[in-house]
Amino acid sequence: MNEETKELLRKQRYQLVGEHSAVKLCHWLKESIMRDRVCYKQKFYGIKSHRCLQMTPAVNWCTQKCLFCWRPTRFTEDVPKEVDAPKFIIEKSIEAQRTLLSGYQGVLDQLNRKKLEEAQDPNNVAISLSGEPTCYPLLPELLEEFERGGFTTFLVTNGTNPDIFREMGTLPWNLYLTIPAPNEKIYERLCNPSISDGWDRINRTIDIFPSLDTRKVMRLTMTKGFNMCDPESYAKIIERGQPTYVEVKAYMYVGFSRQRLSIDNMPRHEEIRAFAESISEHCSYSVVNESEDSRVVLLSAK
């Protein structure tokens, strides 16, 4: 990374790791240790918010420049020939998490001390912070290394590198596939792919999805005024991919997305629920849970 990019990320409270990885404390980790409020992932999937490591091995690499992304997409870089080793990334990411948590030692009387102590040793990793993690060429080895360390793994992908899933000996514990649009026209407008066949690649990943033996989640990132339409087409995509769960989640007006979108593009929770129910009418999935704080509704096979 160039120095301008590094400085920008540091100002956003990223802890940089090696040449292309980063860690940042999740909002819900902080809420958990300070106010005993937890992330919807704890409610839906049983992980502990305060023991989650939010990181990326590809902070500046991506195949898309989505309008709803919180990262500074103008600084997208090419993947270099040499990359950091998985074991190094994991060790330094845990160190970075502890460094970020050290600031809470000054407010011990205001937080859950037991949770703060447990947070020093994370046991779940959300590989999702920024960039597209499947651009990291050693991702299968990274997942294996995390598993050997006793971690459960959440991997969030935009689906534009479908072949990597055939190469994985160890699949993530929770595999997220972002579905950003019901059709190619909206996809091109919203995601600004830097590759010519992005929509085709996503569809290849959708077709691979049913064969992957792990818990699979399709996340529909709803951006009002762009992709919050055509629930029947979303339903068809869901039926093709046969995920374990579907998350219908609002775009959040945070980070650099505020330079591209307005707060009016962020749906209210009641709008998310209504749209999720519309999708449910066209497929074999129904609403089973929701989190109003995160503006997300969970669907599962009926």
Give the pLDDT of residue 7. Answer: 87
Query: Residue 46 region, left (φ>0) first, then alpha (ψ -120 to 50), else beta?
Result: left
Compute the average pLDDT of residues 110-123. Answer: 94
- Domain range for residue 37? 3-301
Give the whole-angstrom CA distance, residue 210 versus residue 140: 19
pLDDT digits (tens, 9 = 90+) for 49-108: 999 999 999 999 999 999 999 888 777 788 888 999 999 999 999 999 999 999 888 888
Q: Is the predicted pLDDT of residue 4 greater than 90, yes or no?
A: no
Residue range 236-245: mean pLDDT, rounded: 98
In the predicted structure, residue 228 carries a pLDDT above the cut 80: yes
Whether 279 contacts 235, CB under 8 Å = yes
Q: What pLDDT, on the 0 to 100 scale, is given for residue 130?
A: 87
In the three-class reduction of DSSP (H, G, I as helix; E, B as strand; rest coil), residue 266 is classed as coil
Q: Lowest-confidence range among 44-48, 86-90, 109-113, 170-174? A: 109-113
Please say whether the dihedral angle defined by the alpha carbons of residues 182, 187, 189 and 191, taken in this order, is positive or negative: positive
Please give the average per-residue pLDDT across 235-256, as a whole number.
96
Cα–Cα distance list, 273 to 157, 235, 242 (Å): 24, 15, 21
The mean pLDDT value of the chain amounts to 94
Q: Where does the pLDDT of residue 168 fall: very low under 50, low under 70, confident under 90, or very high at 90 and above?
A: confident
Which of the two residues, 184 and 109, has the higher pLDDT score? 184
Q: What is the pLDDT of residue 163?
A: 93
Asked which of 1-10, 175-184, 228-237, 260-269 is least confident by mean pLDDT, the reply is 1-10
More confident residue, 11 or 274: 274
Q: How far apart are CA 93 and CA 121, in angstroms?
A: 11
Per the structure, how many domains does the chain have?
1
The answer for residues whose C-beta is within 8 angstroms of residue 115's C-beta and 6 or more apart is 32, 33, 50
Buried/exposed code over 227-243 (b: 16+ C-beta within 10 A; e: otherwise) = bbbbbeebbebbeebbb
**Residue 22 β-bridge partners:** 16, 56
Express each pLDDT in 249-287 by its tens digit. 999 999 889 999 999 999 999 999 999 999 999 999 999
CATH of the domain at 126: 3.20.20.70
**Model pLDDT, residue 75:** 76
For residue 24, pLDDT beyond 90:
yes
| The pLDDT value given to residue 3 | 83
Q: What are phi and psi of 183, to 5 degrees?
A: -155, 170
Per-residue model confidence (pLDDT) at position 249: 98
Lowest pLDDT segment from 96-110, 168-182, 195-209: 96-110
pLDDT value for 112:
92
